[in-house]
Amino acid sequence: MMDRRAFLATTAGGLLAAPLAAGAQQAARVPRIGVIIPQAPPPAPQPWLDAFREGLRQQGYVEGKTILLEVRWLAGRASQGEQTELASRLMRLPVDVIVVNTTGAAYAAQQATTTIPIVTAAAGALIEAGVVTSLARPGGNVTGLTTQGVDLSAKRFELLKEVLPRLSVVAALESPYEDTAGRDLYRSYTQAGAHAVGVQLQILEVKTAADLDGAFQAATRNRAGAVITLPNTFFVVHAARVAQLALEHRLPFASYYREEVEAGALMCYGVNRSDMWRRAAIYVDKILKGAKPGELPIERPTRFELVINLRTAKALGLAIPPSLLQRAEEVIE
C-alpha cells in the first residue's frame, strides 16, 4: 500500500513530466533547407523558386511552420570559390539539405560539405564533373534531377530551319563556365546539332554583360542568320538585354530557357525547369524522411516544351509556319 508522502511525490512528478514532454514535442526541430538560386533576387521574378515552394506544399509542408527555407541568390554569375563559401555559410546555420540548380553549384557545395545532402534541380554534366559516379546510383551526398544526356541542340536548329529554310550560319553565345566539363559537354552538343542540319556554327564567348554588344556586332559581321545561347543561367539574368540586341540586329534568337522567350526571344525548345524544380521537392522530402542521397537515382526530365513569341516574329517580319505554331505548348501574342 502506498503511503501519503509517496503518493504526493509520484503525483507531483507526473504533473511536472507532462508539461516537459509537451514542451519537448512543441520544440521539435523544424527542417531547414538551403536553396541557392542562380537568378536575380526579388523583385525579379522567381519562377523556379516558386515551383520549388509549390512542390514542397504538394508534399505536405507548410513554409515557416513545418519547413524553413534559407534562400540565396547568385544573379547568374559567381565564381566557384564564391559558391563554395555561400554553401559553407548555409552549412553553418545549419541546414538539413542544400538545393542547387547547376553542376557548378553542386560541385561548389560538395567542396563545402560531403555530409549534408545536396539536391540538384537541373544540373548538366554531373558525371563528367566528377560530382556523382553514376545517375542510377550516385554515391556520396548528391542526388536530384539532371539534364545530362538530354541533347536538344539538333531540335533547336531544326526549328530555326523551319522558320528560315536558307539559314546557313548561326552565332552561339557562350558565357564562361566554372566547370569546364559543363562547357565542353554543351559545346559538343551544340556543334553536333549544327552539323546534323548543315549549319555553320560560330561560338562567341561572353564574359560579362558588357560583352553582349560586341558579341552581336561580331555575329552581324560574320553574316549570321540567327543567334542561339548555350545553356547558362547568365542568359536568364540578362534575357531582356539579349532579346533587345537580337531584335536591334534583326537576328532571330532561339533560346535555351523559356524565360528568354518571355523576355523577347523568338522561340525556345527545352526542358521544363519549373517542373524540375517542383520535382526537386520530392527528393528533399525523401531525404528528410531518412533516404540516403547516394542511393536515390538521379532523374532525367520527362517534359519538354516549345514556346514561340509571335510578337517577336512579327517585329522581325517572319512568318511562323502554322504547323510549328500547332506544336507549340505556348504562343506569346
Q: Where are the domains of the chain?
A: 32-149+272-303, 153-271+305-332
Distance CA 230, CA 227 (A): 10
pLDDT at 1: 43
Q: By the 8 A CB rule, do 243 and 214 touch? A: no
Asked if 32-149+272-303 and 153-271+305-332 have one fold, the answer is yes
Q: Which of 18-22, 298-302, 326-330 is predicted with the least confidence, judged by mean pLDDT?
A: 18-22
Kindly report, residue by residue over 5-44, the tens digit of the pLDDT.
444 444 444 444 445 444 444 457 899 999 998 877 888 8
For the beta carbon of residue 328, count every other beta carbon within 10 angstroms. 17
One DSSP character per residue, 40-96 reads PPTTS--HHHHHHHHHHHHTT--BTTTBEEEEEE-TT---HHHHHHHHHHHHTS--S
Mean pLDDT of 100-125: 91
Q: By the 8 A CB rule, do 332 and 308 touch? A: yes
pLDDT at 16: 45
Mean pLDDT of 62-84: 85
Q: What does pTM read for this prediction?
A: 0.83
Kindly report, residue by residue over 285-297, the tens digit of the pLDDT.
999 999 999 999 9
Q: Above 80 in pLDDT, residue 176?
A: no
**Which residue type, as a one-letter code, is found at position 260?**
E
* Structure-model confidence comparison of residues 26 and 327, the more confident one: 327
Q: By the 8 A CB rule, do 134 and 123 touch? A: no
pLDDT band of 125, cuts 50, 70, 90:
confident
* Structure-model confidence comparison of residues 150 and 230, the more confident one: 230
**What's the full length of the chain, in residues?**
333
Query: Which CATH number is associated with domain 32-149+272-303?
Result: 3.40.50.2300
pLDDT at 27: 56
Q: By the 8 A CB rule, do 300 and 149 touch? A: yes
Residue 268 C-alpha from the chain's centroid: 16
Q: Above 80 in pLDDT, residue 177?
A: no
pLDDT at 4: 45
Mean pLDDT of 49-76: 94
> In the chain, which ranges are E strands?
32-37, 68-73, 97-100, 118-123, 142-146, 169-174, 200-205, 226-229, 253-255, 267-271, 304-309, 330-332
3-state secondary structure of 200: strand
Kindly report, residue by residue over 193-211, the tens digit of the pLDDT.
899 999 999 999 998 899 9
Q: Which of 1-15, 80-94, 313-327 is predicted with the least confidence, judged by mean pLDDT?
A: 1-15
The contacts of residue 221 (CB under 8 Å, 6+ apart) are: none
pLDDT at 236: 87
- Of 255, 232, 258, which is closest to residue 245 (Cα–Cα)? 255
Count Cα neighbours of 43 within 13 Å in the Cβ-side half-sphere: 0
Q: By the 8 A CB rule, do 325 and 331 touch? A: yes
- Of 312, 304, 309, which is closest to residue 325 (Cα–Cα)? 309
Mean pLDDT of 87-99: 93
pLDDT at 180: 64
- Residue 260, classified by CB atoms within 10 Å of its CB into exposed (0-12), middle (13-18) or buried (19+), is buried
Q: Which of 136-145, 172-181, 182-191 is predicted with the least confidence, judged by mean pLDDT?
A: 172-181
Distance CA 31, CA 78 (A): 27
Question: CATH topology for 153-271+305-332?
Answer: Rossmann fold (3.40.50)
pLDDT band of 212, cuts 50, 70, 90:
very high
Residue 51 C-alpha from the chain's centroid: 11
3-state secondary structure of 173: strand
Q: What is the mean pLDDT of the chain?
A: 87
3-state percent breakdown (helix, strand, coil) of the chain, nearest 5: 45, 20, 35
Distance CA 281, CA 99 (A): 9
pLDDT band of 134, cuts 50, 70, 90:
very high
Kindly report, residue by residue over 158-174, the tens digit of the pLDDT.
999 999 999 999 999 99
* Structure-model confidence comparison of residues 270 and 215, the more confident one: 215
